[in-house]
Amino acid sequence: MLAAIDHSSLLLIAALSVVGLILLVTYLRVHAFLALIIASLFVGIASGMDLSTIGKAIETGVGNVLGSIALVIGLGTVLGRLLAESGGAQVLADKILKTAGGHKLTWALAALSFLVGLPVFFGVGVMLMVPIVFALAGRQSTPWLVLVLPTVAGLTVAHGLVPPHPGPMAAIGLLKADVGKTIGWSILLSIPLLILAGPLFTHFVKKRLVVATPSLPATANPAVSPAPRPSASLGLTLMVILLPVGLMLLGSLAIIVLTEGTLLRKSLHLLGHPIVAMLAGVVVSMIALSRQCRFTRADLLKFSEDCLGPIAAILLVVGAGGGFSRVLFESGVGEAIKTMAADWKLHPLIFGWLIAALIRIAVGSATVAITAAAGLLAPIVAADPSINRELLILSLGCGSLILSHVNDGGFWFVKECFKLSVSETLRTWTVMETIISIAGLALVLLLNALIS
């Protein structure tokens, strides 16, 4: 049935669905969760998908997204609430302000979020940084974007470019690249991109867009506790935050360094799984913070119950975004993009970036974009040993970050977690991602010219 729809028609349908989705959310004030489902149905029907498979495609997309992040988000929310109730988030916020206040704050947040984001998935990093950002907002009158943009810049650069994140690792396997070299080049590339997309872009946009600081949620409000309690120490707060990060880093290193099939490798891989690592962080924080801050078992139960309810809307929106992305993929939009781009004669680094960028714009997922583009380029790379495979992977990673918009689950995740409107998210997050993508390609081409 897909064969009856030509590629240009598929691309037009995808474009119309995106425009319609934006109008539903911004003009007609339809909840994003409902609007995404409506857009998914439109794409499926208009593209000629078998009507009996459209619902299944939406279900699969929702399941794929929520299957990987729902438990992590829930555990991260509990961890964030514990940090807030214990005063740990405020203690860390005070320390950041004391050592890197004023104009240094954007630099400190960008660096901290990049380090946190190196071993963890993007959503995990967001959940770890959210209580810190809200705590900082409660301590001073800094514009909201000054806190949000450097944070998401550090996390997205780490997620899109640096192994062992899934997109770069998948490309390494498909293109037979060297892991160590890819990590080295990606970190070198990340530094200028982080500066550009974090502090510099924040300085530019804060003068042109005013975003109101949202009211502090319960998870970040130091006044929600009925009676004063001792605050968590800075050391304990850092341990609570870094424990899941460290476990995930350990699990990633085990996959790279240890022999496959050994018990130690399997054990560390299990400990480094995001769900297990976050659970360990929650359990340890419950025990340690309860002792230091004198929480009772009833307190811990109340904190968990109070914070888990409000994340339902976030999960529904992010899951529906995954469903929309899946329908776009199964409708053939991704294949249409690849076929169109394959006819163009370009430098391999530019060609790879372009394919990843077009797939990213069409279907939303950065991981799908970099993986699909790497698969398409694998025969070209195998036939031409002169192509720098590690730089090609960075080019694909940069392309996979471009123009995050309404078909990307990460777009909705950032919007909901940091309380932005659709328009504000498009004018900040989307522009920031595009800056990283285009500047990243320019730097990759420069590196290739220098080392060739």
pLDDT in tens, the chain (452 residues): 444 578 788 888 988 887 887 788 777 888 878 888 998 899 999 999 999 999 999 999 888 778 766 887 788 778 878 877 888 777 877 787 778 767 788 998 998 888 877 756 787 778 878 888 888 887 777 889 999 999 999 999 988 898 767 678 778 877 888 877 888 899 899 999 999 999 999 999 988 888 888 876 544 444 444 446 778 888 888 888 788 878 877 887 888 788 888 999 999 989 988 788 889 989 999 999 888 888 889 989 988 888 787 678 777 876 887 788 788 878 887 677 667 666 677 788 998 898 889 878 877 778 777 877 787 677 778 777 888 999 999 999 999 999 998 888 889 889 988 999 999 999 999 999 999 999 999 999 999 999 87
In a domain, 222, yes or no: no
Helix/strand/coil for 44 = helix
Q: Which two tokens stand for residue 341?
A: 């781009």
Tokens 């190196």 map to which residue? 118
In a domain, 411, yes or no: yes
Using CA atoms, how far apart are residues 393 and 416, in angstroms rounded to an integer?
Answer: 31
DSSP state of 331: T
Using CA atoms, how far apart are residues 416 and 414, in angstroms rounded to an integer?
Answer: 6
- Split into its structural domains, the chain has a count of 1
C-alpha distances in Å from residue 311, one per residue of 158, 314, 403: 25, 5, 26
C-alpha distances in Å from residue 200, one per residue of 147, 193, 205, 252, 311: 13, 10, 9, 31, 32
Determine the length of the chain. Answer: 452
Tokens 């892991």 map to which residue? 179
Q: What are 429-432's contacts with CB under 8 Å, separation 24+?
A: 429/152, 429/404, 430/403, 430/404, 430/405, 431/201, 431/205, 432/149, 432/152, 432/153, 432/156, 432/197, 432/201
Provide the CB-side half-sphere exposure for 308 (13 A, CA).
12
In a domain, 75, yes or no: yes
Work out the percent of the chain whose per-residue pLDDT is above 70. 91
Number of H helices, E strands in the chain: 22, 0
Tell me which residue of 368, 392, 339, 47 sits closest to 189, measured CA to CA: 392
Model pLDDT, residue 228: 62
Using CA atoms, how far apart are residues 394 and 115, in angstroms rounded to an integer?
Answer: 19
Model pLDDT, residue 101: 66
In a domain, 224, yes or no: no
DSSP state of 3: G
Using a 10 angstrom Cβ sphere, with 0-12 exposed, 13-18 middle and 19 or more buried, the burial of residue 30 is middle
- Whether the full predicted model's pTM is greater than 0.85, yes or no, is no
In a domain, 413, yes or no: yes
Residue 442: its H or E element: helix 431-451
Using CA atoms, how far apart are residues 423 and 32, in angstroms rounded to an integer?
Answer: 13
In a domain, 219, yes or no: no
Using a 10 angstrom Cβ sphere, with 0-12 exposed, 13-18 middle and 19 or more buried, the burial of residue 47 is buried
In a domain, 220, yes or no: no
In a domain, 115, yes or no: yes
Tell me which residue of 136, 350, 341, 163 sits closest to 252, measured CA to CA: 163
> In terms of residue numbers, what domain contains 364?
2-212+229-451
